[in-house]
Amino acid sequence: MRREAIRAGAARYGIGAALVLGGAGLALWSGLAERRAGARVLDANRAVNPGARDAGDISAHNSPTLVRNPRDRDNLVVTSRIDSPDFSCAVYVSTDGGRRWARTSVPVPEGEGRTCYAPDAVFSADGTLHVSYVTLEGVANTPRAAWVTGSRDGGRTLAAPRKVTGPLAFQVRIAADPARPARLYVTWVQALDVGNLKFTAPGNPIRVARSDDSGASWDRPIQVNDAGRARALAPSPAIGPNGELYVLYLDVGGDRLDYEGAHEGSGGPAYGGRFALVLARSRDGGVRWEESLVDDRVVPIGRFIPFLPPFPSLAVDRGSGRIYAAFHDARLGTPDVWVWALEPGESAWRRPVRVNDTPQQDRTSQYLPQVEVAPSGRLDVVYYDRRDDPDRNQLNGVSLQSSADAGRTFSARVALAGHRFDSRIGFGSERGLPDLGSRLGLVSGNREAIAAWSDTRSGTEASNKQDIYRAFASPARPGLAAGTADDVGRGGLALMLGGFAALMLMGRRSDP
């Protein structure tokens, strides 16, 4: 009697149970895919510089570069520019994956300037760290020379620096060829003459120098930008998969307001014209150059000091050869983050994609993006974000968004800072032109993205204190197509189990 009742129940409820169990399998698959696709912060709100916890340390750290040792993923290095109370620089090293940081002393040659300033960093493929910086001289704090120092112990110690070029080298950046460990490039804006917070006239070229012996010696500098682009700023170098050298820069056109300091270092409305993003490319190690116009309709978002401009960001997918450029502009009325892409073999850039997932009618600012490509090809973008302060548009957060389809669409943002901080704090705040720096830091791995930014949570408008914070995040993988083979395997198993249960029940229903 009991066996017959069970068989009758199965006959009556078999189809429903089959659907329930099959649906459970599908839900399990969907849950796995969603869990794999969702972004989340893994470890946030950790300061890099120890002075962040010291109220007496009012140093203004900004413009971080963040790099990872290709031979040791736990070895991270952050550099920062210090703008007040004195101009200086800092190099911080972690050997435990970013949990703890130690400051490394930066050697300055005797008689060649009193301090280092505006550092940048890169690891060569052999694990050698290279740090570029300028030394300052005079009451006007102008660059005396540009230098590169190296480290073979992950940044714990830095060797005696070698001079790259002489006076008035601004906005110095460094890049290393991943296929040639000894080949380095340094780019900069070579000023001919300067005044107080301004270039006195246009025509200051972007130059590049190459070293093929890990910085021990440097070739003669060569001009990068076309001479017709007389107000070129903020060169950002990157290396292509075949050793191509790319330099993305900002052409501010007729902007004398910022370039020649007509605003006298004070805040106010932005220049009313348009800027251009330009990519220069050399296929022969920096000797000959050709240019590609990324966009000549970039709408400025605010005033700046031409010595310390916001940098556009450049990244190359070494797997595909695709090139990405990122910058901010106000073409829709308020500052947004935009990404442009150039496909391999193409001459025209794709139309820019708005990254920040705020409503178009949102009046808050998103700006200063940094882009990086993971080995898997995923594109990450990190930027300052004021969406959580809609009434005043003053308090910053930091957001990360990712693309799994070559920059065509982006995932929902993940908030990294965990704490809003005031954008009015920084060098120049007394003139209504506070500066959070020229860039953010970003390292993209297949499993995680690491971001670094300048944070004012411990500062005031009187102290101008800025600190470097960092966060680790698991980036979003938009859509099921972005999942891994493991995702598909687990989903298939879930469906198979649900389907097997359904078939069993339906088979029992058909028993005689």
In a domain, 511, yes or no: yes
According to the model, what pLDDT value does residue 38 have? 63
User: Among positive and negative, which fits the CA dihedral 312, 98, 59, 112?
Assistant: negative
Residue 1: how many other CB atoms lie within 10 Å: 4
How would residue 10 be classed by pLDDT, with cut points 50, 70 and 90?
very low
Q: How many whole angstroms from its chain centre is CA 63?
A: 11
| pLDDT value at residue 481 | 35
3-state secondary structure 99-149: CCCEEECCCCCCCCCCCEEEEEEEECCCCCEEEEEEEEECCCCEEEEEEEE
Tokens of 209: 């120098």
Q: Write the pLDDT tens digit of every residue in 89-127.
A: 999 999 999 999 999 999 999 888 879 999 999 999 999
Whether residue 130 lies inside any domain: the answer is no
Distance CA 237, CA 178 (A): 13
Mean pLDDT of 42-49: 91
| DSSP secondary structure letter of residue 13 | H
pLDDT of 498 strictly over 70: no
Domain of 418, in residue numbers:
25-57+361-512
Residues 244 and 241: their CA atoms lie apart, in Å, by 7
- Say how far apart CA 250 and CA 110 lie, in whole Å: 35
Planar angle of CA 377, 382, 384, nearest 5 degrees:
165
3-state secondary structure 158-185: CCCCEEEECCCEEEEEEEECCCCCCCEE
Q: Which has the closest alpha carbon to 235: 191, 299, 278?
A: 278
The structure tokens 């912060």 sit at 41
pLDDT at 129 over 70: yes
DSSP label of 184: E
pLDDT at 68 over 50: yes
Strand segments, DSSP code E, in 322-365 are: 323-329, 336-342, 353-354
Average pLDDT, the chain: 89
Position 205 in a domain: no
Is 452 or 484 the better-scoring residue by pLDDT? 452
- How far apart, in Å, are the Cα atoms of 357 and each of 5, 241, 360, 413? 57, 31, 9, 7
DSSP 439-452: --EEEE-SS-EEEE
Query: Could you tell me if residue 475 is inside a domain?
Result: yes
Contact 439, 370 (CB under 8 A): yes
Burial class (CB in 10 A: 0-12, 13-18, 19+), 431: middle
Tell me if 135 sits within 8 A of 141, measured CB to CB.
Answer: no
- 433 part of a folded domain: yes
Q: Which residue has the tokens 């705020």?
A: 358
470 located within any domain: yes
User: In this structure, are residues 48 and 455 in contact, taking their beta carbons and an 8 Å threshold?
Assistant: no
Q: How confident is the model at residue 140 (pLDDT cuts 50, 70, 90)?
A: confident
Strands 102-104 and 116-123: unpaired
Would you say residue 330 lies in a domain? no
226, 216, 212, 204: which is closest to 288 by C-alpha? 226
pLDDT digits (tens, 9 = 90+) for 18-40: 433 444 443 444 343 433 446 79
- The b/e string for 220-252 (b: 16+ C-beta within 10 A; e otherwise) is ebbebbbeebbbbbbbbbbbbeeebbbbbbbbb
> How does pLDDT run across 254-300, given as a tens digit for each residue?
999 999 999 999 999 999 999 999 999 999 999 999 999 999 999 99
Residue 163 sits at the vertex; the CA angle it makes with 161 and 165, to the nearest 5 degrees, is 150
The CA radius of gyration of the chain, in Å to the nearest whole number, is 26
d(CA 171, CA 175): 13
How confident is the model at residue 43, as a pLDDT?
87
| Beta carbons of 438 and 234 less than 8 angstroms apart | yes
What digits encode the pLDDT tens for the residues 439-449?
999 999 999 99
Q: Which two structure tokens, joined as six digits, stand for 439?
A: 């860039």
Q: Which residues contact 69 (CB under 8 A, 6 or more apart)?
A: 75, 76, 77, 123, 127, 129, 154
Over residues 188-213, the mean pLDDT reads 97
Query: CA 312, CA 294: separation in Å to the nearest integer?
Result: 11
Distance between CA atoms of 403 and 412, rounded to whole angstroms? 10
Examine residue 31 and state whether it is found in any structural domain, yes or no: yes
Residue 452 has pLDDT above 80, yes or no: yes
Residue 512's pLDDT band, with cuts at 50, 70 and 90, is very low
Is residue 215 within 8 Å of 245, Cβ to Cβ?
Answer: no
- How far does the chain reach from its first CA to its final CA, in angstroms? 16
Digit-coded pLDDT (tens) for 351-383: 999 999 999 999 999 999 999 999 999 999 999
Q: Which helix (H) or strand (E) holds 490?
A: helix 485-509
- Render the burial of 468-481: b for 16+ CB within 10 Å, e for the rest: bbbbbbbbbbbeee
- Structural domains counted in the chain: 1
